[in-house]
Structure 1
Amino acid sequence: MKEKILILVENYNLGGVKSTVDALIHSELKDKFEFKVLSIKEIDFIKNFQPKIILFNVVNTWRNILKLLSIKIKNPYTKIIIIEHHYSRCFEQYNVPNLSRFHFMLKLSYTLAEHVISISQNQCEWMLQNHLLPSYKVSVIESCRLLETFFAISSKPLHKPIILGAYGRFCLQKGFDVLLKAMKLVSPTEVTLLLEGEGTLESELKQLAQGLDNVILLGRVNDVPSFLEKCDAVVIPSIWEPWGLVCLEAKAAGKPVIASDVDGLSEQVYNCGILVTPQDPVKLAQAITSLSNQDLEIWGKAGRESVKNAWQNYIIKLEALIEEML
């Protein structure tokens, strides 16, 4: 009989959550474990499933601590693994006015779980430096998704202008406002930006893009591999990013990356692109302009090579942790 694993999520339709969870429940681990996905709003149904382990893929907040405590009380024989996909060093720099209160909230959350998964080395170091939990209680398992459709993308001949791609939610975190300000400083004959996405800042970004001949807004992201096939390189101007699945996808597609030097992005860009200071349109524009002087093919190959076993490594690490917790 298969051991039951419940994956608890807040918003299943978020791109990164959906791609990772879908890949996991249909992976080879389905032959060993019985997976079920529930929303945090459906916690009353947990007892019906009687899972051995809950993967708590939900944002840790004061309100969710109460839900976590309720789950703990009502399911005393179930072990909880928190997947910390939301917070990071740079998140707290830009979003947290009261650090001691914020850290206390995280300590309470992590105390209620048997284990915590950190999704990047940088995030894990931040957790330990702030004494949010003991080292034996955290494991680094970098987020991943199935990458075969990205590996299948063939390299495209390079012509001017260079086609630079960016995609994701139109929100403060992703830094697309900074990117559009940077594009004002980039010659249209050198680089064209394709920007895909939607979200709360859509009107503001459309306003910033007005009059920019080197920017094309493409609307909602429907098919990421097809989008990346059109691009020569990818830019990720995030202000914070605990890991950054976009970077993983871009590298798997063989595309060089320009990324903010923050959190999990910092450890992903090695010999495959450029790291830049976040929220600096001038430095970002300089990095974008410099693409024409780089060997993009070599960067693309290096990036793809670095992630060729990413999904297998993710499954191996997660399976080992689940086995340890059972």
Structure 2
Amino acid sequence: MKILHVVSNFAVGNGAARLVASLILEQIDQGHQTDVLALIESPLSYAKEVTRKGAHYKVLNNGPTRVYNFLPIFQLIPVIKRYDIIHVHLFPGLYWVLFAKILSGAKCKLVTTEHSTENNRQGKKWLKFIERFVYNHYKAVIAISEATKEYLIRFVNPETPIITIDNGINISDFESAKPARRQELGIPNDVFLLTQVARFNPQKKQELIIESLLHLPDKCRVMFIGEGVLMEKNRQLAKDLGVDNRCYFLGVREDVPSLLKTADVVIMSSNFEGFGLAAVEGMAAGKPVMASNVPGLCNVVEGAGILFPVNDEKALAEGVLRLLNDKDYREIITKQCIQRAKNYDIKVMADKYEEIYKAILQ
């Protein structure tokens, strides 16, 4: 079958884009023609990774502001007619693809995946009618976790049929990665290295990890992988607190598996999370994972890694100290995390999506 994934952007460091790139590679292996269309271009994207495998990569090139006008609808019309399945990820593509199909009369079937437990549209009563109309016109609505499904049902419509398919990763990419050399990163070999892979935005709450350093010995350092609107603010916070020499801001990187391998602990301090792909990646890399106890993320980590109350830097620090000082405990948590990662194999996820595609094409 011919499949087109539509994403807002295909940027390295974007969790949804990372998932789509992995899914595309698996779907090509399944024998499908699978392509991707981004509404805006990204300086560093997963385009090379998927095009090497045979996917086509298209960008509408409207720029961030024009993505939210009606122009993409008309740009999408000639594109969607060439595919059997249009799989949409995130707003505003969720709207534009549906309107393009209605206007064009295209015979393609629409699928959408909900990637988060929260979005800016929730809570706006005047949008509920439009949201219900949009979601109800998709042949399949998929949530990446039970928590995401619950939030979506509450906002859209209790009668909307929603399927849960857990996210997946290529586990072998992280298992087999060689650790990055700390010297080349400017990080001493003898430090206890905390790591977070995430965009710098309010959701990810990097400042909590920076604040936790005040309750931890100098041996504990943190490596941040990612960029975003709050990156400079977090740099300044580290300086204000006098811990800037213990923080390493690496920006967007393409060698995340190797960087995770060189870490001692992987931390997600999110305020909310639909799933927590970075937590699974940390587990697959053989690291103990700590995460804030929020819906979606807690389902991935609970019973394997360590959960701490949201926005509680002291509890975060206590968890780190126990991992630092108790080697036996650290080994237990690490083994549990490695085992948990095996539940989230990308091949399992791709097979479930394939079943859905085939069912709606019948």
TM-score bracket for the superposition, by shorter chain length: 0.7 to 0.9
The TM-score with structure 1 as length reference comes to 0.85
CA contact (8 A) 2:175 2:286 kept: yes
Q: In structure 2, the residue corresponding to 1:242 is in which secondary structure?
A: coil
Residue type at the aligned position of 2:197: Y
- 1:10-68 residue CA offsets vs partner (Å, 9 max, x unmatched): 1012532333222222225544322121234441332451x12110113258xx53552
* Match of residue 6 from structure 1: 4
* Match of residue 217 from structure 1: 249
Pairing of 1:24-103 with structure 2 (within 5 A): 24-27=23-26, 29-40=28-39, 41=72, 42-49=75-82, 51-60=83-92, 65=95, 67-85=97-115, 87-88=116-117, 91=118, 98-101=123-126, 103=128
Q: Does 1:147 align with 2:171?
A: yes
Q: How far off its partner does 1:6 sit?
A: 1.5
Q: 1:227 aligns with which of 243, 252, 259?
A: 259
Q: Does 1:277 align with 2:305?
A: no
* Match of residue 122 from structure 1: 147
* Match of residue 199 from structure 1: 228
CA contact (8 A) 2:19 2:169 kept: yes
Q: Does 1:315 align with 2:345?
A: no
- 1:124-143 residue CA offsets vs partner (Å, 9 max, x unmatched): 122334562525x2111112
* Match of residue 302 from structure 1: 336
- Hey, what's the Cα distance between the residues in 2 that align with 1:214 and 1:79? 51
Q: How far off its partner does 1:105 sit?
A: 4.3
- 1:136-168 residue CA offsets vs partner (Å, 9 max, x unmatched): x21111122322120124799xx9642211122
Q: How far off its partner does 1:250 sit?
A: 0.5
Q: Does 1:253 align with 2:285?
A: yes
Q: Does 1:180 align with 2:175?
A: no
CA contact (8 A) 1:12 1:39 kept: yes
CA contact (8 A) 2:80 2:86 kept: no
| Compared CA separation, residues 67 and 53, structure 1 to 2 (3 A) | closer
Provide the aligned length of Structure 1 versus Structure 2: 312
Q: Does 1:239 align with 2:268?
A: no
- Hey, what's the Cα distance between the residues in 2 that align with 1:272 and 1:155? 23
| Compared CA separation, residues 9 and 131, structure 1 to 2 (3 A) | closer
* Match of residue 166 from structure 1: 196
Q: In structure 2, the residue corresponding to 1:222 is in which secondary structure?
A: coil
- Hey, what's the Cα distance between the residues in 1 that align with 2:296 and 2:148? 7
- 1:299-323 residue CA offsets vs partner (Å, 9 max, x unmatched): 1222122222522221221111111
Identical-pair percentage: 27
Task: Name the Cα RMSD after superposition.
Answer: 2.6
| Compared CA separation, residues 276 and 55, structure 1 to 2 (3 A) | same
Residue type at the aligned position of 1:110: Y
CA contact (8 A) 1:259 1:274 kept: yes
CA contact (8 A) 2:143 2:149 kept: yes
- Hey, what's the Cα distance between the residues in 1 that align with 2:4 and 2:223? 38
- 1:98-126 residue CA offsets vs partner (Å, 9 max, x unmatched): 44345444323212211101011111122
CA contact (8 A) 1:6 1:35 kept: yes
- Hey, what's the Cα distance between the residues in 2 that align with 1:245 and 1:197? 14
Q: In structure 1, the residue corresponding to 2:198 is in which secondary structure?
A: strand
Q: Answer with 253-262 or 141-150: which moved more.
A: 141-150
The TM-score with structure 2 as length reference comes to 0.78
CA contact (8 A) 2:261 2:287 kept: no
| Compared CA separation, residues 70 and 214, structure 1 to 2 (3 A) | same
Q: Does 1:324 align with 2:359?
A: yes
Q: In structure 2, the residue corresponding to 1:198 is in which secondary structure?
A: coil
* Match of residue 49 from structure 2: none
- Hey, what's the Cα distance between the residues in 1 that align with 2:303 and 2:166? 19
- Hey, what's the Cα distance between the residues in 2 that align with 1:97 and 1:18? 22
* Structure 2 residue ranges without an equivalent (≥5): 40-71, 181-188
Q: Does 1:107 align with 2:119?
A: no
CA contact (8 A) 1:72 1:112 kept: no
* Match of residue 16 from structure 2: 17
| Compared CA separation, residues 103 and 269, structure 1 to 2 (3 A) | farther
Q: 1:134 aligns with which of 136, 159, 163?
A: 159
Q: In structure 1, the residue corresponding to 2:226 is in which secondary structure?
A: strand
Residue type at the aligned position of 1:199: G
Q: In structure 1, the residue corresponding to 2:291 is in which secondary structure?
A: strand
* Structure 1 residue ranges without an equivalent (≥5): none
- Hey, what's the Cα distance between the residues in 2 that align with 1:14 and 1:133? 35
CA contact (8 A) 1:52 1:78 kept: yes
Q: Answer with 20-29 or 227-236: which moved more.
A: 20-29
Residue type at the aligned position of 1:317: K
